Amino acid sequence: MKPIETQKEYQDYVDKKSPNSPILKNCFNAFWVGGLICSIGQIIFNYCKYRGLELQISNTIVSIILIGISAFLTGLNLFNKIGKFAGAGSLVPITGFANSIVSPAMEYKSEGYVMGVGGKMFTVAGPVLVFGISASIIVGIIYLIFNTQTITLV
Amino acid sequence: MEFFQSIDWMMMLRCFIVGGLICVIGQILIDKTKLTPARILVIFVTTGAILGGLGIYQHLIDFAGCGATVPLTGFGNALAKGAIEEVSKSGLVGAFIGGTKAAAGGIAAAIFFGYIASLISKPKMKKQ
Amino acid sequence: MIKKGKQTVMFETPPTIAQTACIVGPKEADGPLAKYFDKCLEDEFWGESSWEKAESKIIKETVNTVIAKSGLSNEAIDYCFAGDLLNQCISSSFGLRELNIPFLGIFGACSTFVEALCLASVFLEGGAGQNALCAASSHFCSAEKQFRFPLELGNQRPPTSQWTVTGSGAAIVSKAGNGPYITHMTVGKIVDMGIKDANNMGAAMAPAALDTLVTHFQDTGRTPNYYDAILTGDLGYIGREILTELAETKGYNIKPNYNDCGVLIFDKEKQDTHSGGSGCACCASVFSGYLYKLLQDKKYKKILLIATGALTNSTTSQQGESIPGIAHAVSIEL
């Protein structure tokens, strides 16, 4: 092997030396766990529909129940094990959003309930709300502009 | 029993597959790009909001139900759709109300359950 | 003491490592070196209300243990050099605030323990005292909290990531004694080869270890086979492989007698620690427990201990900075 002199050479060498994540296995696990979580949501949704609830309310109930389950599992110290196994399968559904709020809340409990739990709760999930809500406002404004000219995108 | 008969099993299958595939996209992003979980979630919610704003995401929801609404892209879509609905009702101010209103249940639940969990539970070390 | 070459100091009346002690957490207790540690904890809180407090307690109790084992009184110890990974080194300063020994807090990331040995040796050789205490600690949970994510977050650890060792190691260095002696020290330079992946610390630190290793051989005129064992602090599996290959390109074959403390402390397959252990306590506890025992039993007579550190924090990594590495070496001989 030739001696390594530059940062670029070293980066390439390290990339070659570092093992990759087992992507096929990870994707398979993400697929079936993610699918399963969505299916649980679908069953709850069907039940709401069966009980004659409105569409939007049903969707909200699905979210709340899945968030509740996720928070419960996080509190039981189980969610990180599921997350380690399923990766994006439990991160991408709304369960991952809930976990990313509950886990810092638990973590920073030692800094008190106000500045610890209250202040640090959104260290991971905060950006989701910032970008999600900002995007929705922009979408709303764009819609307003186009709509007043009676051009609808929807 | 009557409830189980009311379930559309084909819909359930489509929900499983679409939900799973959206997660696979996330997994590929994690493994290939070294993005942190927070960034992955931001990408999904923003993508959902854009696709929702363009009215594309609704087709996926019609096709796969919760397979499209439960992933965070669905959360983004709900935000965008809420903003659009509120804008058509009350104009500009609706852009600021609609999104958060549509997602209020989820956000409030996450905050509330998060607080409760921190009251009753302590983090533990992963054995693995 | 005599300065040799660029970065190495030879001690003419080499100080002795008179006693060591270490306390480790539950995961380390499941590892292959468990029987060498003075105490293994049942849980990572050790009766405290936070991980920071637990880490402070670990370093405090480790220091108390080493003092008790040495038979010295606190008054007989002139200096304490200690450090850890938490912001402003609070584990050591809070843990050791009741010690009543003149205290010098140091930070060298995971190289802290050897940095402490270096400083203690120079102080004693320079005539500033008779005994000095060196200690370092780290805690998996407090390190994850500070550097990465909340413990309960359901994320996956990439295969290049390393597992911060929970525990602490402490040593008493004395001016007079029967060895093992600290005969040389090579103080390392900061080396940054542009690695930005905070989940691949071994690769970030390996160039620094290489620099110190090569400089040590050049300065002392020694070759790798002079030592019974060459040990790095926490390069892990990936860093170990990189260092072995890079050393070969520089003309030093360290393969036969080289290993890494981060590789030794965990069972990679059974404990799922990916690339191995890391943290201040990795080198400190493996040396204080395992290596010191082997030196006492005369299984090893000459070792070169190179502790490696990644000089990064969560702010610099969020700002997209690369990770500078550091490595300090001490020759410990009978």
- Say if A85 falls within a structural domain: yes
Place of tokens 């009676």: A150
Q: What is the rounded distance in angstroms from the CA atom of residue C109 to the CA atom of residue C89?
A: 10
Give the domain-ending residue among C156, C174, C192: C174
Domain count, chain C: 2
Say whether both C58 and C166 belong to one domain.
yes
Say whether both A119 and A134 belong to one domain.
no
Mean pLDDT over A141-147 rounds to: 88
How does the average pLDDT of chain C come out, rounded? 95
Task: Using CB atoms, pick whichever of C43, C151, C158 lies closest to residue B126.
Answer: C151
3-state DSSP helix/strand/coil percent for chain A, to nearest 5?
80, 0, 20
Say whether both C12 and C135 belong to one domain.
yes
Mean pLDDT over B20-30 rounds to: 96
Length of chain B: 128
Q: How far, in whole angstroms, is CA A137 from its chain's centroid?
A: 21
For residue C215, pLDDT over 90 is answered with yes
- Is B21 near chain A, with CB under 8 Å? yes
Say whether both C17 and C134 belong to one domain.
yes
Say whether both C156 and C212 belong to one domain.
no
Domain hosting residue A130, numbered range: 125-154
* Cβ distance of C153 and A99 shorter than 8 Å: yes
> Which of residues 28 through 57 in chain B touch C, CB cutoff 8 A?
30, 34, 36-37
Q: How many CB pairs under 8 A join B and C?
A: 25
C246 contact residues in A (CB cutoff 8 A): 3-4
| pLDDT value, residue B2 | 79
Subunits with 3+ C-beta pairs closer than 8 A to C: A, B
Say whether both A84 and A40 belong to one domain.
yes
Contacts of B26 (CB under 8 A, 6+ apart): A30, A34, A87, A88, A91, A92, B40, B44
Task: Using CB atoms, pick whichever of C152, C159, C200 lies closest to residue A106.
Answer: C152
A121 contact residues in B (CB cutoff 8 A): 111, 114-115
Buried b / exposed e across C248-269, counting CB within 10 Å, b at 16+? eeeebebeebbebbbbbbbebe
For residue A153, pLDDT over 90 is answered with no
Q: What is the pLDDT of residues B65-92, one digit of tens each?
A: 999 999 999 999 999 999 999 999 888 9
- Say if A7 falls within a structural domain: no
- Say if A10 falls within a structural domain: no
Q: Which DSSP symbol is given to A118? A: I
Give the domain-ending residue among C174, C208, C232: C174
Nearest of B55, B73, B53 to residue A139 by alpha carbon: B53
Say whether both C120 and C207 belong to one domain.
no
- Say if A86 falls within a structural domain: yes
Q: How far, in whole angstroms, is CA C117 from its chain's centroid?
A: 10
Mean pLDDT over C113-136 rounds to: 96
Q: Min CA distance, C112 vs chain A (Å)?
A: 25
Residues pairing with C16 in the sheet: C174, C181
Say whether both A133 and A57 belong to one domain.
no
Least confident segment among A71-75, B33-37, C171-175, C276-280:
B33-37
Say whether both A99 and A150 belong to one domain.
no
* Cβ distance of C154 and A3 shorter than 8 Å: no
Mean pLDDT over C142-158 rounds to: 92
3-state DSSP helix/strand/coil percent for chain C, to nearest 5?
40, 25, 35
- Say if A1 falls within a structural domain: no
Say if CB C284 and CB C113 are below 8 A apart.
yes
Say whether both A87 and A48 belong to one domain.
yes
| Residue B12 DSSP SS3 | helix
Where exactly are the structural domains of chain B? 2-120
Q: How confident is the model at residue B128 (pLDDT cuts 50, 70, 90)?
A: very low
| pLDDT value, residue A148 | 65
Q: What is the pLDDT of residues C298-307, one digit of tens each?
A: 999 999 999 9
Q: Which ranges constitute the DSSP H helices of chain C?
A: 26-29, 51-70, 90-95, 112-125, 140-147, 201-220, 236-249, 261-265, 268-271, 280-285, 292-296, 314-318
Subunits with 3+ C-beta pairs closer than 8 A to B: A, C
Say whether both C193 and C290 belong to one domain.
yes
Q: How confident is the model at residue B109 (pLDDT cuts 50, 70, 90)?
A: very high
Say whether both A119 and A131 belong to one domain.
no
Q: What is the rounded distance in angstroms from the CA atom of residue C305 to the CA atom of residue C318?
A: 32
| pLDDT value, residue A154 | 43
Task: Using CB atoms, pick whichever of C150, C241, C242 lies closest to residue A104.
Answer: C150
The residue of chain A nearest to residue B100, with distances taken between CA atoms, is A133
| Interface probe, candidates C155, C235, C268, chain A, greatest A C-beta count within 10 A | C155
| pLDDT value, residue B126 | 56
Domain count, chain A: 2
The residue of chain C nearest to residue A122, with distances taken between CA atoms, is C150
* Cβ distance of B125 and C149 shorter than 8 Å: no
| Residue C98 DSSP SS3 | coil
Q: What is the rounded distance in angstroms from the CA atom of residue B106 to the CA atom of residue B95?
A: 19
Q: Name the percent of chain C lying above pLDDT 70.
A: 100
Contacts of C226 (CB under 8 A, 6+ apart): C302
Domain hosting residue C257, numbered range: 181-333
Say if CB C42 and CB C27 are below 8 A apart.
no
For residue A150, pLDDT over 60 is answered with no
Q: Min CA distance, A108 vs chain C (Å)?
A: 8
Nearest of C297, B68, C42, B116 to residue A35 by alpha carbon: B68
Say if CB A79 and CB A90 are below 8 A apart.
yes
* Cβ distance of C248 and A1 shorter than 8 Å: yes
Nearest of B46, A80, A82, A87 to residue C149 by alpha carbon: A80
Q: What is the rounded distance in angstroms from the CA atom of residue C168 to the CA atom of residue C269?
A: 24
Say whether both C134 and C188 belong to one domain.
no
Which tokens go with B11? 């819909």
For residue A9, pLDDT over 70 is answered with yes
Type of residue found at A117? V
A118 contact residues in B (CB cutoff 8 A): 115
Say if CB C106 and CB C115 are below 8 A apart.
yes
Length of chain C: 334
Task: Using CB atoms, pick whichever of C154, C158, C200 lies closest to residue A91.
Answer: C154
Q: What is the rounded distance in angstroms from the CA atom of residue C169 to the CA atom of residue C28?
A: 13
Q: For position C45, which CATH number holds?
A: 3.40.47.40
Say whether both C212 and C277 belong to one domain.
yes
Say whether both C160 and C226 belong to one domain.
no
Say whether both C164 and C194 belong to one domain.
no
Computed from CA positions of residues C60, C235, C140, C106, in that sequence, does the dihedral angle turn out positive or negative? positive
ipTM of the complex: 0.93
Strands C181-186 and C163-164: unpaired
Q: How confident is the model at residue A121 (pLDDT cuts 50, 70, 90)?
A: very high
- Is B125 near chain C, with CB under 8 Å? yes
Q: What is the rounded distance in angstroms from the CA atom of residue C203 to the CA atom of residue C246?
A: 11
Helix H or strand E segment including C171: strand C167-174
